[in-house]
Amino acid sequence: MFAHLLRHAVVGAALVAMALALGPAAQAQTVSVGTNPPGTVFYTIGSGLAKVVSEAGPVRMSVQPYAGSSTFIPLLNTGELEFGVNNAVDMALAYRGPKFQIGGRNPFPHGPNTRLVMRGSPLLVGLLVRKDSPIKTIHEIKGKRMTGEYPAHLAVWYNMFGHLASAGLTWNDVKVVPVPAVNDGVDALVQGRADVTEFAINSAKVREADAAIGVRHISTDCSPEGERRLRQAVPGYYPRWIKAGKAAAVVEDTCFIAYDNYLIAGKSVPDTVVEAVLKAIWGNADKLPPLHPIFREWTRERAADPDVTTPYHPGAVRFYKERGVWTPAMDQTQQKLLAINP
């Protein structure tokens, strides 16, 4: 009996020793990724990334939904949460802090310890009018009824502010129709209470409005001057042209506002964990698009880029340098962003 127990103890000790020798590969680390609630784009992205990361290797990633990104940014900042999904504009506001404002606003808690892991796919949003509207260009919205305020959906307020800024306009140049959130803006257009609103490209709400009254997107000002005004007004925004017929309500070549989704992390997350997560996504990027169309542009080619609003995590920098995709331009951006929060 004693010999039997001794043999089990020896085998157990050997297994422990082997696991220790193998290191993290044998001891899966569990991390969480913060997202917005189920049903949102951020939750979809977080769920897809968590699935691919967890299936690929030593890190097990679980989704932790919160009421909104402003709720989990402080947790990333203090190290209570490892990863999060957010977008370039929100992160510009959070990383730079209260002294930095867009359109006189910055509702986000300061997150100087947040870092970028991977730049992902873009969100595209475009102005929307009735199909029979006389409005053909953004410059013709001056004096028209435009949805605004968006107290329950501040991101859309920034979208609308960006559209206006691209054309050299402000809220004072339009008649503001107050709505709480983005769906209500489309409802106001359908009901005839507004002349102009906006929505994300190819969404069910746009298709619904098109079936009800006929709607079409009109371009943001994407001339060189318009692009300069857009980028200056809202860091993180850039123009993206969509060909006629490629999406609902796009009846001619139309310029949308684009801004990128990010996988972010707290500065205190160990480099090895960030590298393991990146390695899992990098090696299995082809498994993401079948999960949801938002992942079509979540690619290796977009992961590392100088056009970002938050500095990269040191583990991500090392990962990208090892793969030869870290450029001198990225070094310049990195140093400039790190200097904001020394």
Q: Which two tokens stand for residue 224?
A: 């060189």
Question: Quick one: pLDDT at residue 40?
Answer: 81
pLDDT digits (tens, 9 = 90+) for 49-58: 999 999 998 9
Tokens of 108: 């986000």
Q: How is residue 198 written in tokens? A: 């906006």
Pairing state between β 83-87 and 254-266: antiparallel
Q: Give the contacts of 318 (CB within 8 A, at least 6 positions apart).
A: 271, 275
Look at residue 197 in the predicted model and tell me its pLDDT: 98
Distance CA 176, CA 188 (A): 12
pLDDT at position 10: 38
The label of the residue with tokens 């480099």 reads 271
Query: 18: closest CA among 26, 10, 6?
Result: 26
pLDDT in tens, 60-113: 999 999 988 888 999 999 999 999 999 999 999 999 999 999 999 998 899 999
pLDDT of residue 57: 80
pLDDT of the residue at 45: 94
**How many CB atoms are closer than 10 A to CB 6?**
10
pLDDT at 213: 97
Which segments of the chain have a pLDDT < 70? 1-27
Q: What is the DSSP letter of 109?
A: P
- pLDDT, averaged across the chain: 91
In terms of C-beta density within 10 A (0-12 exposed, 13-18 middle, 19 or more buried), how is residue 210 classed?
Answer: middle
Judge whether 94 and 311 are in contact, CB under 8 Å: no
pTM: 0.82
Could you tell me the domains of the chain? 28-122+260-338 (3.40.190.10), 124-259 (3.40.190.10)
pLDDT value at position 39? 78
Structure tokens at 328: 């001198």
Give the integer Cα–Cα distance in Å for 54 and 59.
6
Q: What is the pLDDT of residue 306?
A: 96
| Separation CA 109–CA 69 (nearest Å) | 10
Query: Each residue of 17-39: pLDDT tens digit?
Result: 333 333 444 357 999 999 988 87
